[in-house]
Amino acid sequence: MVNAYFGIIDSVLVIDHDTTICDNIILIEDAQLIIRDCSFFLKGDLIALQNSLFSVKNANFVIPQDFIYQFILAALDSATIEISNSRFNSANLPVNGATIDRGSFLMDSVDMDGAFITFSIYDNGSINISYSNRAGEFVVLGDSAQLSIAHSDTVLVWLGFPEGSSGELHGSFGMEDWVEEFTYPDSTCQGMNYSIGVDSIYGLMLATMVEDSTDVTIYDAQLPSSGNIFTVPICDTISGLEDESHYDDWVAPFPGRNLHLVNSSIRAWNLYFFGNTDFTLKSSIFGECLSSDSSKTTLMNTTCDGFGGHIGASGSSFFLTFFATLYTDALMEENSISMFLLTNFMFGHLIARDMAVSVIYNTILANPIQIYDSATVMVTGLYPPSSAYIDDTLSIRGSATIVRAPDSPFEFEGYRVEYAPEEDTMHFIQLNDRITEPVDDGELCKFPTFGLDIGTYIIRLWYFFSAFGTSDSLSFDNTVYLGYYGIDEGDPPRELSLSVSLNPFSSATSIYYNIPQLSELELSIYNICGQKIATLDKGTKKAGRYMTTWSARNFPDGVYLCQLKTGNDMRTRKIIKLR
């Protein structure tokens, strides 16, 4: 096995012995890189430009990836990538593939058991697949793009509806179906100048990819995904999406398009934001959400079930999750900035690469953070005790640390904790001086409560950092309710208040609520879709301090909302369950 470092190639090179390359490969002019009769490991991108050729024949071609979409295979400017009579492996993680401007990708008799490629076919690009298993997924949107697949299996084809186009889709296929022939666009379509031809395929799945200013109707279909691309610079909110739903006669709540579903089902809603868009997705269950360019994307009270892929940010976009539950990877790339607030990673990884910067607060991670290149993840957490009393000394736990790649320009400069009564947040009192030693899920400080009144207090964490020669800070708040050891002692409360335990690993949550006067009240628990799942207290209550518990033992992990209503007043607190 030969280990080599490459780069730009402008000549003909033949490799016929086992080789590992840990570098990007760029082929230019009339260069040819021919791999044959060997094992070839490429840990990097492969970009073929101009009239160049990358050819793999009778070989074991491996792209060992550490995370999803780490590397790309791209053919541009009349270049060709061809793989034939070979095995292809990408560590069972998807690889990016792209063709554009007369670039072509050919795959013939390839065993893809350990690999998956997501191909994007742009203007004048072409892909020809034959006699290959698990051939991949193909997004067809480009003008004069061509896709031909024959005698293969397990194929996902995204039917693109470019800006200004219209068309219909009648029916779909299943994983167990044999498809003799399928072509698209059909006679119902306008403004779609590409061609898709399928011949003798087992396991053909169809999905749609819809852009702005389109008119699309789907009849009698069961689609694994419905993708929607947004590029028009508007600010809007999308809500009410739910994966694995059937629609008898329904128009999707998306601006700038008419997406009409008739007797059709969608397993995963996928959303892609580009340009200067500013979108909030809330109260939804979706499959994939990606933010790019200079877009701003907010996920609020949502669940990404991962059926459609992952969540991610690239370009110079801003990506925020708030009260979100994630069953998938989060891939933060390029110069993106992301914040994960009160978010649960049930599965998957938080991955940061390039110059991406991420901030997490009170976020539960399922796996260690993966960090690469010059990326940075600021880790913060603030967890006051679930039961807290006056005339005591409390332990305030949390996190204030940093996970950074070796070339990251960011440095951790310390943290400070302070507090203030909920009714007077203009005057905070320090609990400690700045501490420069990072804390990862440990004690941040002590909180002496001697001489304090009962009630709700704001605990504030200041996080200090520097980058590019400039110092800065972020602040994060949480609340704690200080009571008597005897919950009903003391004078009547002065205002309506609600506080809950914030221990995400406990199935039983303590809930404290103060009623300042005789009131009709309702204390309820809601899931992230706004559905009431439990009523803990209801009726007339005299002024006083009350406590109850809610057991989440029979409910799935995730984020819940505890809501206290009295007349025209209301208080809401979150509950995170993770076992």
506 and 512 Cβ atoms separated by less than 8 Å: no
**Start-end ranges of CATH 2.60.40.730 in the chain?**
380-483
Torsion of CA 318, 324, 327, 332, to 10 degrees: 10
560 and 528 Cβ atoms separated by less than 8 Å: yes
Res 545: pLDDT: 81
Residue 113: how many other CB atoms lie within 10 Å: 10
pLDDT at 456 over 70: yes
Collapsed DSSP state (helix, strand, coil) of residue 473: strand
Q: 219 Cβ partners below 8 Å, 6+ apart?
A: 168, 169, 170, 171, 262, 263, 264
pLDDT tens digits for range 26-40: 999 999 999 999 999
Q: What is the mean pLDDT of residues 522-548?
A: 86
User: What residue has token string 């976020």?
Assistant: 363
DSSP secondary structure letter of residue 187: T
User: How far is it, in rounded angstroms, from Cα 88 to Cα 177?
Assistant: 25
Res 489: pLDDT: 46
User: How far is it, in rounded angstroms, from Cα 474 to Cα 456?
Assistant: 22
Q: What single-letter amino acid sits at 84?
A: S
Res 512: pLDDT: 85
User: How far is it, in rounded angstroms, from Cα 269 to Cα 248?
Assistant: 17
Q: What is the mean pLDDT of residues 511-523?
A: 88
User: What residue has token string 């009849």?
Assistant: 219
pLDDT at 44 over 50: yes
DSSP 64-78: --SSTT--EEEEETT
Torsion of CA 483, 488, 490, 492, to 10 degrees: 100
pLDDT at 503 over 70: no
User: What residue has token string 């490991």?
Assistant: 41
**Start-end ranges of CATH 2.60.40.2550 in the chain?**
497-577
380-483 falls under which CATH superfamily?
SOR catalytic domain (2.60.40.730)
pLDDT tens digits for range 485-502: 644 445 667 788 888 866
pLDDT tens digits for range 103-153: 999 999 999 988 999 999 999 999 999 999 988 999 999 999 999 999 999
Res 242: pLDDT: 96
User: How far is it, in rounded angstroms, from Cα 228 to Cα 274?
Assistant: 11
Q: Which two tokens stand for residue 452?
A: 């304090």
pLDDT at 273 over 50: yes
Res 501: pLDDT: 66
Residue 7's pLDDT band (cuts 50, 70, 90)? confident
Q: 416 Cβ partners below 8 Å, 6+ apart?
A: 430, 431, 432, 433, 434, 435, 461, 462, 464
Residues in the chain: 579
Pairing between strand 470-483 and 455-467? antiparallel
Q: What would you measure as the largest C-alpha separation in the chain, in angstroms?
A: 88
- HSE, side-chain direction, 13 A CA sphere, residue 277: 25
Res 291: pLDDT: 98
Q: Which two tokens stand for residue 237?
A: 């909110």
pLDDT tens digits for range 289-342: 999 999 999 999 999 999 999 999 999 999 999 999 999 999 999 999 999 999
Pairing between strand 558-566 and 519-526? antiparallel
DSSP 380-430: EEEE--SSEESSSEEEEEEEEEEEE-TT--EEEEEEEEEEEETT-TTS-EE
pLDDT tens digits for range 201-258: 999 999 999 999 999 999 999 999 999 999 999 999 999 999 999 999 999 999 999 9
User: How far is it, in rounded angstroms, from Cα 145 to Cα 193?
Assistant: 8
What is the domain class of 497-577 according to CATH? mainly beta
Res 491: pLDDT: 63
Mean pLDDT of the chain: 93
pLDDT at 74 over 50: yes
pLDDT tens digits for range 143-182: 999 999 999 999 999 999 999 999 999 999 988 899 999 9
| Nearest to 172, CA basis, from 218, 120, 139 | 218
Res 560: pLDDT: 85
pLDDT at 507 over 70: no
User: How far is it, in rounded angstroms, from Cα 416 to Cα 15?
Assistant: 58
